[in-house]
Chains A and B, each alone.
Chain A
Amino acid sequence: MKVAVIDYGMGNLHSVLKSIEAVNEVGAEVLLTSDPDVVIRADKVVFPGQGAMPDCMRELNAHGLAEAVRESAATKPFFGICVGAQLLLEHSEEGDTPGLGLFRGEVKRFARGLTDAQGERLKVPHMGWNRVYQTRPHPLFAGVADGERFYFVHSYYFAPAEADLSLAESEYPERFSCIIGRDNVFATQFHTEKSHRAGLQLMKNFLAWDGTV
């Protein structure tokens, strides 16, 4: 089995690669690649992304990878992380950027001046370990407790247009979708590669996943 980790020059992929290797009990060949052909030939695809969405979209196009991402997301087990997940939606408020449009919906910015129920100010970016509440059952949740904490760092969040696209939610201070997916696609706002045991468990489940729900 070949797992392609898409490298389009956005962010540190060292940890993504190492976290997959750390749970690679199935003997998968894990390839860091910017070659669209390698992505298309792979059995599974991991699509990370860091930084600003306009830059990510530009680099994805500059590397000629947008079509390979679309095709992979349509056909095989596919794991999006952070901006790699945001890119799957139609549009982002960040720099008024069109996304790949695989899923209907938007990426929105957290409002300024947020406070929690106690009136304490909430900072943006939303940075740190927050709880992830599973809203739909999914094979990748095996061994992951409902309400488990994962590591987030983002100022923009998913606002999917179809309720069934959201697989899990977090709170800041309102509930927001933090995992989206359908069929063979699973995409997280948080960083699995930085989320200690819980993140590794998700990735381990992905390596074992056949892409059906």
Chain B
Amino acid sequence: MALAKRIIPCLDVTAGRVVKGVNFEGLRDAGDPVDIARRYNDEGADELTFLDITASSDDRDLILHVIESVASQVFIPLTVGGGVRRVDDIRRLLNAGADKVSINTSAVTNPDLVREASDRFGSQCIVVAIDAKAVTPDNDRWEVFTHGGRNRTGLDAVEWARKMQAYGAGEILLTSMDRDGTKIGFNLSLTRAVSDAVDIPVIASGGVGNLQHLVDGVKQGHADAVLAASIFHFGEYTVREAKLAMQAAGIEVRL
């Protein structure tokens, strides 16, 4: 197979700055999004994902300026998510230079948004983000949660992924709420169950603590792409090191 598995660093952005959580003690400024995006790009990141975690609606437009600046200098695909509620939010992000827009809570509250957006802009730019949590002790059934994992929806994550594909999603960004921030690795059963259930690519997210976890996400989780934040932000590993580890494990990567 010649198609490379992708490594996607994720940047949390608020009020126009990249932030990172430090041992769950809150957020610290991690720098200018353009500088960080450029660094990951130079290291060989295959795509970048920006998650707008801005709380205040007054500051919402700042993400547009961030994306505009990044897109003027970094020529790899950019995905933006966080607070996307209306078709017009998507239009504005795409016009600012985003290649894909990720829809999470609003896909649950208004699934037609996914249909409408993919009809209007094409499936290729509509990512549905699914936050899933195991609801059985055996980790064999997972439910969709919204609002950053606070609200239980009653939706089965695998069924939901299938439904979102039928509504026109071009890709699934799958985050395990159980694993997010734990650094013990992806929820591989969840990742495999969703990836095997759909025809569209699945990005695994949540729980990466070392490079073997990325390998496992692809080989055991059947993920088409792996997303990680803290292992790159804290300088533990570079994107290039991650790719070399994947290549050593027999995975096609772009070097």
Residues of A whose CB lies within 8 Å of any CB of B are: 11-12, 14-15, 18-19, 22, 50-52, 55, 112, 116-118, 120-131, 149, 151, 153-155, 170-173, 191, 193-196, 199-200
Contacts and interface: CB of A to CB of B under 8 A. Distances in A.
Nearest to A199: B75
Contact of B170 (A125, A172, A193): A125
B124 A127 contact: yes
Contact of A12 (B95, B170, B171): B95
Contacts of B162: none
B75 A15 contact: yes
Contacts of A173: 1
B200 A128 contact: no
Contact of A128 (B4, B71, B95): B4
A129 B3 contact: yes
Given A15-B99, A112-B199, A123-B201, 18 more contacts: A12-B95, A14-B71, A14-B95, A18-B71, A18-B75, A22-B75, A51-B122, A52-B122, A122-B3, A124-B199, A125-B200, A128-B3, A129-B3, A129-B46, A149-B254, A153-B77, A172-B3, A195-B75
Secondary structure of the A contact surface, majority rule? mixed
Contacts of A172: 2-3
- SS class, residues of chain B in contact with chain A: loop
A205 to B, nearest CB: 15
B71 A15 contact: yes
Contacts of A129: 3-4, 6, 46, 254
- Residue in A12, A149, A151, A172 with the greatest tally of chain B CB atoms within 10 Å: A12
Interface in B216-239: 222, 224-225
A51 B96 CA distance: 17
B1 A117 contact: yes
Contacts of B71: 14-15, 18
Interface string B29-60: 00000000000010000100000000000000
B2 A170 contact: yes
